[in-house]
Amino acid sequence: MALSNRYIKLINSLSIRKYRKKHQIFIAEGSKLVLDLINADMEIESIFATQEWIDEKKEISANISQYINIVNEQEIKKISKLSSPSSVFALFKYQHYVLNGDIFDQKRTILFCDEIQDPGNLGSLIRSADWFGIDTIVCTKNSADCYNPKTIQASMGSIARVKVFYCEIDDFFGILPEEYHVLGAYMEGEDVSKFPFKKESVLIIGNEGKGISLGVEKYINHKISLPQSKSPNKSSQAESLNASVAGSIILYELSKHLK
Amino acid sequence: MALSNRYIKLINSLSIRKYRKKHQIFIAEGSKLVLDLINADMEIESIFATQEWIDEKKEISANISQYINIVNEQEIKKISKLSSPSSVFALFKYQHYVLNGDIFDQKRTILFCDEIQDPGNLGSLIRSADWFGIDTIVCTKNSADCYNPKTIQASMGSIARVKVFYCEIDDFFGILPEEYHVLGAYMEGEDVSKFPFKKESVLIIGNEGKGISLGVEKYINHKISLPQSKSPNKSSQAESLNASVAGSIILYELSKHLK
């Protein structure tokens, strides 16, 4: 397929959540990310690549030749969302997950994003979850979209290995087994380095500006805290950490207890 | 001062590192960030604010009235770098730090950014350093600019409390006292959760794609590692963590030893 103006328009519309959802397709760019998603068996819609890329990655490109469209760098520039377009641009199909009680069968640890706004933060959390062996993330419906190009870019392929569900707050907590820890990070709380984490945990990550919402807070049964180190040289200090950094540090502590 | 076209042009040029450096001025937007920088005694160049903001923040705005220019929201839109412009836009003056042996007088812990590329990552690291009581960051000259609007935004005011130096690799390590740990994170290394950190440490954060450079690697005397948690359900897994996340987790472990 050639890159017709109509198709360019369709691809550009995928920057907007509404159109991604309509077409059930997301964008991935850059050789490392695209190869990672192909190797993780994500369902391919189309791949636009330069002849050089196809030749260089012969072992992989030969197996997926039916999806590949040869384009030149100028054409990739027209559809790329990156400041430095790469030699490969791909469209993958959405994955469909239905939230039900089955996700608790394996007593898995779950990351719960309570209105995470920044797509980069969500992507970075998906990547950290993957690193720390957690394969399930639940997001409130007003959280960033896991298929936003910035989220996909920041997740570095981990979107293929971590299931991201979107649901209403009460629908999720309504089916959560009672034995679960529901953990929220606050300025005051039990020190994460001493907290007796267990596998059956839901870790809440609050919104970047507003923190944890009232609708989620009522389900929290353990308030935890990341201790700040006071510096003797400074009169004031940072009030908080970046949401994906704070979430990742807690996942790191939690993962020590999962071994 | 009214927002003349000439002044708008000057402000817009501050998105580019070269012009920021020429004018020695950086941009900060949003009420929380601007107030945080004012309270931390950053030197103000100009503040552009709506009458509503000035009235609402009377206690502060009265003390800095000589710097304030009343503008309307339309005018802020013309200079804002944010997708949702705020009611206040400020210009602050660069701080000047000269790197010399004095920074080792207090046996301080230092974060060393080896070609960190993403301005958001650098800002997030500045914020984490501030949280964990570290007040000194040294960057290689090809690292992102600490005064990039995205860095300032991500640092959430911590830029006022953390000194960021730029220098040549050999100039820094040439004056580093011998007793310092120089720590680099690798896939294989001593487990950070068991490593005997000490205050006299330089923690290296490598480039997002390429990792730690050869020029810096030769100075490392301890290779450390952030253990990955293997998931039984997955055949592949994330290869690495986001640079600011990895750096922040190590700072977190290090900070436990500084108390």
Same-domain status, A251 and A129 = yes
Same-domain status, A121 and A236 = yes
Question: Are the beta carbons of A124 and B242 separated by less than 8 Å?
Answer: yes
Same-domain status, A84 and A119 = no
Which among A230, A234, A249 is the nearest to B249, CB-wise? A249
The pLDDT of residue B71 is 94
Nearest residue on chain B to A226, judged by CA atoms? B252
Q: Please name the residue that has the structure tokens 């000269």.
A: B98
The pLDDT of residue A189 is 95
B-chain CB neighbours of A193 within 8 Å are 256
pLDDT at B235 over 80: no
Is B205 within 8 Å of B246 (Cβ atoms)?
yes
DSSP state letter for A234: -
Same-domain status, B182 and B160 = yes
Q: What does pLDDT average to in each consecutive run of 10 residues of chain A (259 residues)?
A: 82 95 96 93 95 93 92 92 91 92 89 97 97 95 97 95 96 96 95 96 96 97 92 75 97 91
Domain span at residue A51?
5-93
CATH number of A229's domain: 3.40.1280.10
Q: What are the angstrom distances between the C-alpha of B200 and each of A129, A250, B179, B211, B256? A: 31, 26, 7, 23, 14
* Calpha distance A243→A247 (Å, rounded): 6
Q: Using the 3D structure, point to which of A44, A70, A93 is the last residue of a domain.
A: A93
Q: Of A213-222, B124-133, B229-238, which gets the smallest average pLDDT?
A: B229-238
Half-sphere exposure of A86 (CA within 13 A, CB side): 20
B-chain CB neighbours of A39 within 8 Å are 236
* Calpha distance B134→B138 (Å, rounded): 12
Give the mean model confidence (pLDDT) for residues B161-173.
96
CATH number of B16's domain: 3.30.1330.30
The pLDDT of residue B234 is 66
Is B17 within 8 Å of B150 (Cβ atoms)?
no
* Calpha distance B131→B111 (Å, rounded): 13
* Calpha distance B92→A246 (Å, rounded): 29
CA-based nearest residue to B75, from B64, B67, B86: B86
Whole-complex ipTM: 0.94
DSSP helix/strand/coil, A138: strand
Q: Using the 3D structure, point to which of B50, B69, B93 is the last residue of a domain.
A: B93
Q: What is the mean pLDDT of chain B?
A: 93
Same-domain status, A82 and A175 = no
- Buried b / exposed e along B60-89 (16+ C-beta atoms within 10 A): ebeeeeebbeebeeebbeebbbeeebbbbb
Beta strand pairing call for A136-140 and B110-113: unpaired
Same-domain status, A55 and A122 = no
Which among A234, A242, A256 is the nearest to B154, CB-wise? A242
DSSP helix/strand/coil, A4: coil
The pLDDT of residue A230 is 77
B-chain CB neighbours of A124 within 8 Å are 242, 245
Same-domain status, A245 and A154 = yes
Start-end of H helices in chain A: 5-13, 17-23, 31-39, 51-56, 58-61, 73-79, 119-131, 149-155, 169-175, 214-217, 243-256
H or E stretch at A111 = strand A110-113
pLDDT at B64 over 80: yes
pLDDT at B129 over 90: yes
> What is the model's pTM?
0.94
Q: Which amino acid is at B155?
A: S
Q: Using the 3D structure, point to which of A93, A123, A145 is the last residue of a domain.
A: A93
Per residue, the 3-state secondary structure of chain B, as one string, reads: CCCCHHHHHHHHHCCCHHHHHHHCEEEEECHHHHHHHHHCCCCEEEEEECHHHHHHCHHHHHHHHHHEEECCHHHHHHHCCCCCCCCEEEEEECCCCCCCHHHHCCCCCEEEECCCCCHHHHHHHHHHHHHCCCCEEEEECCCCCCCCHHHHHHHCCHHHCCEEEEECHHHHHHHCCCCCEEEEEEEEEEECCCCCCCCCEEEEECECCCECCHHHHCCCCEEEECCCCCCCCCCCCCCCCCHHHHHHHHHHHHHHCCC
**Touching check for B12 and chain A: CB below 8 Å?**
no
Report CA A98 to chain centroid distance, whole Å. 17
DSSP string of A200-214?
SEEEEE-BTTTBS-H
Same-domain status, A69 and A113 = no
B-chain CB neighbours of A238 within 8 Å are 127-128, 130-131, 156-158, 161
pLDDT at B47 over 90: yes
B-chain CB neighbours of A130 within 8 Å are 234, 237-238
Same-domain status, A66 and A132 = no
Total domains present in chain A: 2
| Surface-to-core class of residue B45, CB atoms within 10 Å of its CB (0-12 exposed, 13-18 middle, 19+ buried) | middle
Same-domain status, A213 and A114 = yes
Is B71 within 8 Å of B3 (Cβ atoms)?
yes
The pLDDT of residue A192 is 97
Same-domain status, A148 and A219 = yes
Question: Are the beta carbons of B258 and A229 separated by less than 8 Å?
Answer: yes
Same-domain status, A76 and A40 = yes
CA-based nearest residue to B138, from B103, B186, B183: B103
| CA dihedral (A201, A207, A211, A212) positive or negative | negative
